[in-house]
Amino acid sequence: MKTHSKRIVAVLLALITAMCLAVFSFADYQVAASLDSEKKTITVTNTDKTNYEYEISPMSADLFTSNTDEGNIVYSQLTPGTEYTISAFAKPRIDGATAVSTVKVKLLKSQNPPSAPTIVSSTATEIVVKYMTGCEVSLDNITYYQFANNTNYTFKGLTPEKSYVVYARKKATSEYYASAAVSSEIKTLKVGDKTVPVEAVLVDITNTTITVKKVAGYEYSLDKENWQSSNEFKNLKPNTVYTVYQRKTFDASEYEPSICSKGVQFQTTGRAPLKANPDAAEVVVPSKQHAGAQITVTAKTLFPAKDMALVYGDTKITPAYLYTEKDSAPVSFKATEKDKNVFEAKFKPSDDADGSYNFYIVFKSEKYDGKGNWVDDGTEVRTVAVKILPKQNWFEKFVEGLGNVLFNYLPSALTKVGKAFVTVITWFVKILGSIK
């Protein structure tokens, strides 16, 4: 009886010891699993089939279980978007027993790749990739970079004249794996001209245009982004400040942009400049002039904006000299003493001059520079046709002179005599009326 009791006690002690060892082992054991998203499989590693049995949930009719030569358990034909729980239970498994270790693995959904990345621009050391919603980019398909604040991504510090492959893929999310990558290839450019270009020099400005001095091999911009070959900017706003930049042109397919000049500010005028037109200038050429006789030509300064606030580009013209198609020597205009804006030029056609003459009146043009100064703006020419009559003899001159006197002075003299006569008669009548 005592021997039997001793055996029972020994068995109980053995069971208790085994249970303690099992509990200690269970507490240390951790089930491990790896996921292959492309094959839609979960492989349970770190298996110990002697002491544990394994279970996956949720189960489905399509789910397939297999074993590898290494003793791993493979669950395949899983459902994307499902979270699976892998549990390890101690053997022998008792109904209602709690798993010793669990691991959760979620098989995410796959997503289609995006369109190939668009290269916005490139230089010798940079590549700019256009923003792609929900995507990330890479140059090696290993390390990916995120777009920030919905803006383009710039790869910097690259090697000039080297071909690069730009990869793009849709980012992984809590529901989706990262998509397969697509790519575009681009070659960085040659290093551009690093010579600092000259600054813009103003040539002309109006209320809607700015024209700077044209420099061979240059292009021009108002914002350093949009460049044009023309040195004239049109359709601008009046009374507005603009900054003009310029740089050397370059072959954009091979070279990066050259260095941009320092910006120069110009302000458009509040109105269009008023240009003095020589055809509108007041010019007087006496009619019926004879060959060999002196002709006095009168011309006035023309200043359209004289009663306005001046703006850049306003012009005025002043008579300078005249010449004819038949007489080579030019004749200068001189200001009259009575009016400094009225000029006279005295010209004498040759004795054999006869018929139609063209007088070419040359005006000196000046332009307002917007800084209180008038600067030379070349010349303007007006053509005036004059009829030259044959040269007169002394008798013809006498008769014409007498006629001029009678025509010009006799009516005035008679008028004065008549007024004097009326005054005397009126005085005489008053005297008679006073005698009683």
Query: Which of these, 308, 230, 238, lies nearest to 272 by C-alpha position?
Result: 238
Cβ(202)–Cβ(231) under 8 Å?
no
Strand-by-strand arrangement of the 232-233 sheet: 202-205, 210-212, 232-233
The strand pair at 52-57 and 119-122 is best described as unpaired
Phi/psi for 88 (5° steps) reads -115, 125
The strand pair at 374-389 and 289-290 is best described as parallel
Query: Which of these, 207, 265, 267, 266, lies nearest to 238 by C-alpha position?
Result: 207
Q: Which helix (H) or strand (E) holds 412?
A: helix 410-434
* CA-to-CA separations, 332 to 203, 294, 329, in angstroms, rounded: 30, 14, 10
Rounded to a whole number, what is the distance in angstroms from the first to the last CA of the chain? 200
Strand-by-strand arrangement of the 145-146 sheet: 145-146, 135-138, 163-170, 182-187
Written as tens digits, the pLDDT of the chain (436 aa) is 545 555 544 444 444 333 333 333 344 688 888 888 777 889 998 888 889 989 999 988 888 899 888 889 999 998 888 889 999 999 999 888 899 999 998 888 889 999 999 999 999 999 999 999 999 999 999 999 999 989 999 999 999 999 999 999 999 998 898 999 999 999 999 998 888 999 999 999 999 999 999 999 999 999 999 999 999 999 999 999 999 999 999 888 899 888 999 999 999 999 999 999 999 999 998 877 788 888 899 999 999 988 899 999 999 999 999 998 776 689 999 999 999 999 999 988 877 777 778 889 999 999 999 889 999 999 999 999 888 888 765 555 555 556 555 556 556 655 666 666 667 666 665 676 566 5
Structure tokens at 248: 């050397």
| Cα separation, 428 vs 311, whole angstroms | 67
∠ CA 178-180-182, rounded to 5°: 125
